[in-house]
Structure 1
Amino acid sequence: MSLQPELQRLVQLIDSEAVLLRGFLALLEREEALLIAGDADGLLVLTREKTERFHQLQRIHNDRALLLGRLRRPNTDAAIREVCQPLPDTLRRWDEIHVLARDAQARNDLNGKLITERLQHNQAAMSILLDASRQPQLYDSAGHPRPGGGGRHLGSA
């Protein structure tokens, strides 16, 4: 069956979106592992990949919206199902996109919670270190114990 060019392009966009979403989900899974491991360097590299993948997905979404607009259809699930009704493979991929998007949202939410927990842990550790730095030193620069209390305080005679 020969497809009109707009429909062919829509099929390509849906196929590409499914591939990109699978890859995005894999990046989110890697992100979770790096967050658990506390691998800040790995997270930095992954963040760049994740941002690029997100931009690619956004471009496909925008292209699909423009294409559907040319077909005088809104960029909605119902419109895509109507246009792709004679294409069961494309409809299955479209359903897969919905599942992948829900999975990515759930994984992203989980990673957000892991980041929040990590930040809270780091803030608590920083608070402990800052409090400790405000305490009088117990040892002098040679490592000898300093006598506690009993000495003159600044401003006393």
Structure 2
Amino acid sequence: MNKPGPADIQRIALLIEAEAIQLKEFLALLEREEGLLVGGDTDGLLALTHDKTDRYRQLQRLHDDRALVLGRLGLPNNAQSVRSLLASLPRILARWEEILDLARQAQQRNDLNGKLITERMQHNQAALSVLLSAADHPQLYDASGQSRPTGSGRILGSA
């Protein structure tokens, strides 16, 4: 391990602060996504997807930047390395612990949203199956709502 300088510590602290902010915003997007999934708002989901992807990319960049700094110091990119590096900075260390908690919450919410998406897809597939099977049967009513014979009898003039 290389001895971290003040610039390294400051860079890690800034990255941690930025990551905490981004994770809170990402978690808020996941919460919003859950509401849209429960409400069946597909238009809202489409709009949210762009924001969610952007926020994910920003989080990934912050993660990669942290990994670079830790790598230059000869440390693996894991929670323990960050804890040891920030041992003398309790406020930043507390922020790091907050990040770990937010990341767990985001993973749980994302898993829940994935289950909601799966349920919605299964419901849509079942509805589509019903519609497709109904398309194979003759209509019982015409466009004006009048009953129509189903044609189950013999065609006139046939033997």
TM-score by length of 1: 0.91
Structure 2 residue aligned with 1:127: 129
Paired with 1:85 and 1:141, the residues of 2 have a C-alpha distance of: 76
In structure 2, relative to structure 1, the CA distance for the partners of 1:67 and 1:145 (3 Å cut) is same
Classify the secondary structure of the residue corresponding to 1:50: helix
Deviation at 1:77, TM superposition (A): 1.2
* Shift in Å, 1:101: 0.5
1:75 maps to which residue?
77
| Deviation (angstroms), 1:138 | 2.2
Cα RMSD for the two superposed structures: 1.7
Which amino acid counterpart does residue 72 of structure 2 have in structure 1?
A: R
Name the SS of the counterpart of 2:87 in structure 1: coil
Amino acid of the residue matched to residue 115 of structure 1? Answer: I
Q: Distance in 1 between matches of 2:54 and 2:82?
A: 26
Q: For structure 1, which segment, 72-81 or 131-140, has the greater mean C-alpha deviation from structure 2 after superposition?
A: 131-140
Q: How many residues align?
A: 153
Does the alignment pair 1:36 with 2:32? no
Percentage of pairs with the same residue: 59
**1:11 equivalenced with 2:16 (yes/no):** no
Aligned to 1:21: 23
Q: Deviations over 1:3-53 (max 9, x none)?
A: 711111100000000000000000000000000110001101111100000
CA distance in 2, matches of 1:140, 1:91: 71
Distance 1:145 1:22, change over 3 A: same
Q: Gaps (5+ residues) in structure 1?
A: none
Kindly state the Cα deviation for residue 142 of structure 1 after the two structures are TM-superposed.
6.2
Counterparts of 2:124 and 2:155, CA distance in 1: 37
TM-score normalised by L of structure 2:
0.89
